[in-house]
Each structure stands twice: as structure tokens, then as C-alpha cells.
Copies of this chain bind each other. A is one copy, B any other.
Amino acid sequence: MRRIGVVLLSGGLDSTTVAAHAKAAGHDLQALTFNYGQRHGRELEAAKRVAAILEIRHEVVDLPVMKKLSWYSALTTRGLDVPKNRIMGESTQRIPITYVPLRNTVFLTLGAALLESTGLSLIEDGQIDPKEISASVFIAANAVDYSGYPDCRPEYFQAMQLALVEGSKLGKQYGVTITIETPVLHMTKAEIVKLGVELGAPFEHTWSCYEGGDVPCGSCDSCLLRARGFAGAGIRDPLLERPPAGGEDC
């Protein structure tokens, strides 16, 4: 069985753990990182280093279309502020302003398009029998410590996988299911940290903070969740042990 996979790699803690997991499980992997108008390039650099260390083929794909179309979000539009000092899913039932319209649907679709192209070329070039191939898109969504995002829920992934199968040649002609794999969906942040450490995930090169300074801000939603994760796992965050980069890319 040839197991082809695409992993969506943001450069954060969760996607780095998922990439390490997929690699360890023997998938023939490609990593994709989307540059979609985040506020800084810090996490793109993190993703490149993580992929290099894990020895996964990696592409950074510019996606200015997200800023243009999914424009109603604090992550893509500067006029809308990112809330601070609270973990948003806890303080309100409402979906926060950091939600980017259909972000995971865009990312999963593009990841699956690369996966399908890879699969079709292997099958139609006669390199492999469709029965001998599996195809997975890995996404580091999490439904435990989540911020209320609709596109991080199991029901969503189930619906999305069906759409990918129904809408693909890989699914309808060759009977190859494009599977959405969400290995950390039901894990706490502490469990993700533990798993990552076990798999040798290079956490010291990851980046979680919504801000883009030399060191994490420590107060945004994402920093608070990360700190809680390491605390819960009883592990020190290696990123905080590193000296600040001081503006140099080293």
C-alpha cells in the first residue's frame, strides 16, 4: 500500500506534532504552508524550519486571495483587533472575530487538490494500481482547547470529507477515498505537547503567537493556550529557552 499524504503545516505547535506523526506513520508526505495575509511572516519561517528538520517536501503557497475574499476577520484585516488576555472559547459562546471565513475549507480543498494531482498522476501514468493507494490530508484542528471555530468540529470534517470524495476523480472514478485526518482533534494541548515531544517534534522552531515580535507576546489567545499546554504536560517550552533572534534570521 502506497500511502500518499499532504500535511497542512502552519509552523505552530499542533501542526508540527501532526507532521511528525504522519511522517512517523510512514506516509509519503508533502507539506503545504499558506501565506494568506497573516500579520507577520514569523510562522512561515517556522514552518520552513520544521519541514526541513522533519525532512518533508515543503511548499509555501501565496494566497493573497484569502485577504481579498475572506476579508472579514481580525487575522486578515488590520482594522479589526485581536482580543487579548482571554481564551475566547471560554468567555463566550460566540465565534470570535479571529475566525477567518471558510479558512479550513479553503486549506483542505487546496491540500486535497495537490493530493489528488499526485494520486492521479501515479495511477494514470500506470505506476500504481488504485487499489494499492491511500490518500490523506492531515490537519491539526483541535476541538478541545478550541476557540469556537465552526471549521474545527468533527461534524464539519465529516461533511467536508464527503464533499472531497463526491467532487473528485480519485474518489468517483478510482474509488480512492480522500481522507481528512485530524489526529489531535480530541487531544488537550498538554496531550499534544507530550505526543510531540515523544515524536521528536522540533518545538523550539515553532511559532504560535498572533503577534510577530522576536519573542512571543505571552498574552494573546494562542500564547495562553500554548503556555497552558506545556504547563499541563510538565514540560518547559523550548521556544522560551531560546535567545531572542534580535532581528537576524539565524
Q: Which residues of A contact B (CB under 8 A)?
A: 32, 59, 61-66, 68-73, 94-95, 99, 101-102, 104-106, 109-114, 116-118, 120-121, 124, 150-151, 153, 155-156, 159-160, 162-173
Contacts and interface: CB of A to CB of B under 8 A. Distances in A.
Nearest to A173: B95
Given A153-B166, A160-B166, A113 B106 contact: yes
B156 A167 contact: yes
Number of identical protomers: 2
Contacts of A62: 64-65
A70 B101 contact: no
Chain A contact residues, majority secondary structure: helix
A26 to B, nearest CB: 23
Nearest to A65: B61
A156 B163 contact: yes
A166 B152 CA distance: 10
A69 B159 contact: no
A153 B62 CA distance: 31
11 contacts: A32-B69, A61-B68, A66-B113, A102-B168, A105-B109, A106-B106, A151-B166, A159-B163, A160-B163, A160-B167, A162-B162
Given A150-B169, A166-B150, A117 B95 contact: no
Contacts of A150: 166-169, 171-173
